[in-house]
Amino acid sequence: HGVLDKEGASVALAAYQLGQMAESDLNYAEAMRMYKKAVVLEEDNPEYLLAAGKMAREMAEFKQAQDWLEHLLEIREAEGDSAELGDALHELVWLHKVLGRYSAAEPLCLRAVAVKEQALGKDHPDVAKVLHNLAGLYKREGKYTEVEPLFLRALAVKERHFGKEHPSVAGTLNNLGVFYSEQDRLAEAESLYLRSLEIREKYLGKEHLDVAESLANLALLNRKKEKYIEAEKLYLRSLAIREAVLGKEHPRLALTINNLAELYRLQERYAEAEPLLHRSLHIREDKLGKD
């Protein structure tokens, strides 16, 4: 804090490190402010561009995220193939996926897998992370036969490297659960969701965004099973966490709000459903654009 009003590399480093501290405290708005300061001071620093690009995506500042991540990719491509180039590609994949640009995301993701495998070997957890994302991308594109093998391969690599109770393992369990739920394999999905939630609450705390994701997925599963009271409790808890961390106008909230409204619609609680649908629509139009 003492050097933030000065100029030069030490100030950029201080801002970056304060951003890391704010991010670990789930203070994403402050993290965004600090990362942005670091990038303004050192616009060609790959570490700062990566952190700022990821946080801008989290905070739904998508144009800014794309500018930073594309600049990062230019820098890493000039350096040649490396694990760091794979990281830059992977972050752009996430951004395109969030914005529904699946045709743009897939070739970047396949390239990220190839670069990471070449740099690190096929059994490295960073490779598993990209495989996990590729599986999610194929699921969105309806390439269902390719999804489960990728998730299972990613899960096996992560469990070997991290053990069976690691937050990264929980992420793959959660997303494999989503796939099973969408295939109406509800018993398998529920088992994975509960295991993922237990790991996340234990190691990340009960107010973490990843916990909110697990809660929302469990809520949807309970809605499918017509356990409406339990589903409502889970949706409300997930929504409260996301509002506390991301604010009330973030696209991630819109999905939970929309799903809660659908729960109310199924119960013919129309007066409660309608304002939630209007709120979800407003957030999505504002943050993602009307098209």
pLDDT tens for each residue of 139-190: 888 899 999 999 999 999 999 999 999 999 999 999 999 999 999 999 999 9
pLDDT above 90: percentage of residues in the chain: 80
Between 6 and 167, the higher pLDDT residue: 167
Is the pLDDT score of 6 beyond 80?
no
Please list, in sequence order, all residues whose beta carbon lies within 8 angstroms of the beta carbon of residue 57, skipping any fewer than 6 positions away: 65, 91, 94, 95, 98
Polymer length in residues for the chain = 291
For residue 20 the two structure tokens come to 């890391």
Q: What is the largest CA-CA distance in the chain?
A: 60
C-alpha–C-alpha distance, residues 166 and 13, integer Å: 30
Helices (H), 80-225: 83-98, 102-120, 125-141, 147-162, 167-182, 186-204, 209-224
The C-alpha atoms of residue 59 and residue 48 are separated, in whole angstroms, by 16
Residue 87 has pLDDT above 90, yes or no: yes
Residues ≥6 apart with Cβ < 8 Å to 62 = 56, 95, 98, 99, 287, 288
What is d(CA 127, CA 193) in angstroms, rounded to the nearest whole number? 23
pLDDT greater than 80 at residue 1: no
At 201, the pLDDT band (50, 70, 90 cuts) reads: very high
Weakest-pLDDT range from 5-9, 215-219, 227-231: 5-9
pLDDT for 274: 97
CB within 8 Å of 162: residues ≥ 6 apart:
125, 168, 169
d(CA 256, CA 213): 9
Provide the percentage of residues in the chain whose pLDDT is more than 70: 98
Radius of gyration of the chain (CA): 20
The predicted pLDDT at position 198 comes to: 97
Q: Select from 28, 25, 27, 100 the least CA-distant residue to 59.
A: 28
pLDDT confidence bin for 7, thresholds 50/70/90: low
Cα–Cα distances in Å, from 153 out to 159, 168, 181? 10, 14, 19
pTM (predicted TM-score): 0.76
pLDDT tens digits for 266-283? 999 999 999 999 999 999
**Distance between CA atoms of 19 and 36, rounded to whole angstroms?**
9
Alpha helices in 59-124, H assignment, sequence order:
62-79, 83-98, 102-120
User: For residue 58, what are its two tokens?
Assistant: 């989290």
* Confidence at residue 5, expressed as pLDDT on a 0 to 100 scale: 67
Looking at every residue in the chain, the average pLDDT score rounds to: 93
- d(Cα 179, Cα 143) in Å, to the nearest integer? 11
Q: Which pLDDT value is given to residue 252?
A: 84
Q: What do you get for the CA distance between the two ends of the chain, in Å?
A: 42
The pLDDT confidence band at residue 96, using thresholds 50, 70 and 90, is very high
Instruction: Give the C-alpha separation, 238 to 225, whole Å.
Output: 19
Half-sphere exposure in the Cβ direction for 99 (13 Å, CA): 22
